[in-house]
């Protein structure tokens, strides 16, 4: 390693996951199977990707763990919260993502992961009705109880560090309101006043994490840490935060395919995206208020890649529509279907159809691993606040909208940001241009 300023990844890393459903149990099972040598962590950048460091004669391609100190899969200890009391083994079987033969070898370890009672408000996810739920007198009390859970987990597990990952359902849309979300003081006041309209349960998890020295990653499109009050708290506690919404299927395709149209200077008339999925995520998103949160996240991708001001002839007037349809027979095997109407030379129209028959949790699991390991890395490197270098993994990357910052959604530009950050943390020059 070069002269890296990253604290070494000593001891155990606790990954506390909110939600013990399809995504998190697929993630946990895969990590446990991989460390027994019974499965491969395919799709994980931290486990497979190599980055160039140096130029000319100095040039070499190294795994992330050869550039910066990283935990191994053996260093990970899991904990979770969920509204349903089923342990990780039962939940993995119920999710029907993985075959039993891929779960059984780690059955004992999964059974030991019993979900703590969730901080939950049914108004935020009306389709869920589990009873493994905390009794809270207020949002402030909710956050205090989560803080106690984190402290107990640290004590009982003996982990060295903790990160928190939201892999639970999409909440109903909470629009950022500066009266309640503008400052940390306002947020805390609203929590103490039990303002359930402006303080989502996920905000209590994020607040608790940051108050207990745990970096926080938002894996759903919830507003949670994407507010100035949380940015202020992350700066105050010197902790990294990241979000929002795991970039798994359709948006991954969009952020990688839209650059083809833009780079080749082809025009766009419209992009229609629809999804069918049948897991718990689909059930929750069948509720219009919850879908609104997801729609805001998915719609933002294209507009920052194919920009009207840059190429008015090509992108001044396209129509962009996103739909999600709950369809139980598909379970976790989501289908993302895109119809793209483009035009070329002299305005002649053409069409592109993309049909991605993806498995939602199989794509999300490696993102959970990478985000947990990389936000822990950021913390050990002394980075805090919004970690823009993690946008590669996220559908709707956090950015400072109060300053009209435009997020980077272009997959290959995001990849450059990721590589440059790891180079820098490893003590190498961040030598790739984002253009």
Question: Which sequence spans correspond to the domains of the chain?
Answer: 13-246+361-425, 250-357
Look at residue 11 and give its three-state secondary structure. coil
3-state secondary structure the chain: CCCCCCCCCCCCEEEEEECCCHHHHHHHHHHHHHHCCCCCCCCCHHHHCEEEECCHHHCEEEEHHHHCCCCCHHHEEEEEEECCCCCHHHHHHHHCCCCHHHCHHHHHHHHCCCCEEECCCHHHCCCCCCCCECCCCCHHHHHHHHHHHHHHHHHHHCCCEEEEEECCCCCCCCCCCHHHHCCHHHHHHHHHCCCCCCCCHHHHHHHHHHHCCCCEEECCCCCCCCCHHHHHHHHHHCCEEEECCECCCHHHHHHHHHHHHHHCCCEEEEEEEEEEECCHHHHHHCCHHHHHHHHHHHHHHHHCCCCCCCCHHHHCCCEEEEEEEECHHHCCCCEEEEEEEEECHHHCEEEEEEEEECCHHHHHHHHHHHHHHHHHHHHHCCCCEECHHHHHHECCCCCCHHHCCCCCCCHHHHHHHHHHHHHHHCCCCCCCCCC
Question: What pTM value is reported for the model?
Answer: 0.95
Nearest of 346, 302, 342 to residue 321 by alpha carbon: 302
CA-derived radius of gyration, the chain: 21
Q: What CATH homologous superfamily does 13-246+361-425 map to?
A: NAD(P)-binding Rossmann-like Domain (3.40.50.720)
The rounded percent of the chain whose pLDDT value lies above 70 is: 99
Residue pLDDT, tens place only, 47-79:
999 999 999 999 999 999 999 999 999 999 999
Weakly modelled stretches of the chain, pLDDT under 70? 1-2, 297-299
CA nearest to 388, candidates 424, 427, 348 = 424
**Distance between CA 397 and CA 277 in Å, rounded?**
23
pLDDT score of 348: 98
What does pLDDT average to over the chain? 95
Note the pLDDT of residue 2: 66
DSSP states of 223-240? STT-SHHHHHHHHHHT-E
Tokens 């391609």 belong to which residue?
A: 61
Task: Specify the pLDDT at position 435.
Answer: 83
What is the per-residue pLDDT for 74? 98
Query: Domain 250-357 has what CATH class?
Result: alpha beta
């Amino acid at each position: 390693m070069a002269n890296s300023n990253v604290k070494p990844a000593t001891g155990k890393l606790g990954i506390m996951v909110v939600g013990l459903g399809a995504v998190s149990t697929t993630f946990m099972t895969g990590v446990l199977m991989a460390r027994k040598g019974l499965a491969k962590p395919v799709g994980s950048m931290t486990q497979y990707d190599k980055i160039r460091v140096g130029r000319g004669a100095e040039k070499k391609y190294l795994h992330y763990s050869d550039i910066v100190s990283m935990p191994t899969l053996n260093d990970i200890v899991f904990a979770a919260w969920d509204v349903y009391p089923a342990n990780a083994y039962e939940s993995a079987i119920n999710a029907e993502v993985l075959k039993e033969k891929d779960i059984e070898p780690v059955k004992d370890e999964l059974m030991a992961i019993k979900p703590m009672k969730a901080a939950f408000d049914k108004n935020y996810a009306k389709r869920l009705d589990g009873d493994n739920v905390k009794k809270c007198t207020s949002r402030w009390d909710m956050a205090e109880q989560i803080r106690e859970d984190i402290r107990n987990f640290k004590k009982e597990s003996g982990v060295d560090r903790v990160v928190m990952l939201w892999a639970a359902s999409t909440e109903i849309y909470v629009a950022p309101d500066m009266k309640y979300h503008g400052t940390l003081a306002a947020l805390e006041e609203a929590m103490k006043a039990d303002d359930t309209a402006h303080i989502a349960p996920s905000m209590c998890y994020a607040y608790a994490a940051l108050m207990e020295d745990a970096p926080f990653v938002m894996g759903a499109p919830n507003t949670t840490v994407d507010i100035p009050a949380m940015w202020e708290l992350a700066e105050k506690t010197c902790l990294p935060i990241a979000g929002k919404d795991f970039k798994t299927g359709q948006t991954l395709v969009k952020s990688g395919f839209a650059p083809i149209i833009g780079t080749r200077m082809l025009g766009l008339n419209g992009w229609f995206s629809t999804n069918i999925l049948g897991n718990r995520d689909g059930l929750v998103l069948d509720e219009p208020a919850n879908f609104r949160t997801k729609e805001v996240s998915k719609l933002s991708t294209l507009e920052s890649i194919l920009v009207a001001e840059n190429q008015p002839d090509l992108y001044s007037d396209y129509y962009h529509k996103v739909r999600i349809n709950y369809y139980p027979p598909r379970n976790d095997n989501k289908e993302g279907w895109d119809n793209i109407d483009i035009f070329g030379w002299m305005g002649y129209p053409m069409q592109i159809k993309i049909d991605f028959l993806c498995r939602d949790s199989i794509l999300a699991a490696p993102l959970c691993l990478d985000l947990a390991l990389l936000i822990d890395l950021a913390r050990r490197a002394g980075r805090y606040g919004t970690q823009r270098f993690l946008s590669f993994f996220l559908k709707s990357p956090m950015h400072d909208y109060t300053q009209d910052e435009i997020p980077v959604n272009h997959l290959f530009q995001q990849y450059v940001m990721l590589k440059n950050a790891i180079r820098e943390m490893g003590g190498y020059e961040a030598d790739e241009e984002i253009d």
